[in-house]
Amino acid sequence: MAAPKKCLAKTSAGKRCKRNATTNGACEIPKHQAQVSPAEDRTKTDDSGLTVGQRQAVEIIAAAAPKATHTNLAKVCGVRRRATISEWLANSVFAEAVLRRRRELSRADYGEVIKGLTVGAKLGDVPAIRTWLEHHGLLKQQLEHSGPDGGPVETSTIDLSKLSSNTLRKVRDELAK
C-alpha cells in the first residue's frame, strides 16, 4: 500500500508540514488548505451556485463582525486578493447566502437571550421578569393604563396583582415550558 500523501503546505517556520494530506493536498489545518488551494481556486460550484471556497467564506463572513474589513475577511477566508471578497459580495447569490446565514445566526442568538431571560424570570429576577413580559407582549397591554392620575406608568417594580388572571396563567404556562 502506498504511503499517505503529505501536506504540501509550509509551516510558519518555513518548513514543509509533516502531517498527512486529507483534501486538496493539504492537512486539516485551514491555513494549510488555503495555502495549497486558496478559496478562489476551489472552483467547482454546488447546487447553490457557490464554490467550496465560497461556501466556507459565507460561513466565515456571516459570523464575522459587521465592521470587518475586506482585507481581514480575505485573510480568514484563505483568499489571496482582497478584491475577491468585494467581487463575491457583489455577486447576488453569494451576498444573499451571507444574509440568510447571518439571519439564521442572529435568530439562534436571540433564542439564547430569551432562554436566559426565562431562567432569570423563573429565579425571580425582576428586570428579567419585566423584559420577559414585554417580550411576550404581556406587560404593556396590562399596565399601560395603570399610571397614577393618568401619569406615566411606574415601571421600577412589577405589581403582579395588576396582571389579569388570564395573563398570569399565560406567564405560568410559558415559564413551565
Residues that bind Zn ion (CB under 5 A): 7, 9, 17, 19, 27, 29, 32
Give me the least distance between CB of 76 and Zn ion, in Å please. 18
Cell numbers that stand for 80 in this block: 489571496
Q: What share of the chain is helix, strand, coil (3-state, %, to 5)?
A: 60, 5, 35
Report the half-sphere exposure of 141 (CA within 13 A, side-chain side). 9
Q: Which is nearer to Zn ion, 27 or 79 (CB)?
A: 27
Give me the least distance between CB of 70 and Zn ion, in Å please. 26
Q: Which is nearer to Zn ion, 32 or 70 (CB)?
A: 32
Q: Which is nearer to Zn ion, 17 or 79 (CB)?
A: 17
- Report how far apart, in Å, the C-alpha atoms of 71 and of each of 81, 112, 160, 161 are: 8, 31, 54, 57
Give me the least distance between CB of 17 and Zn ion, in Å please. 3
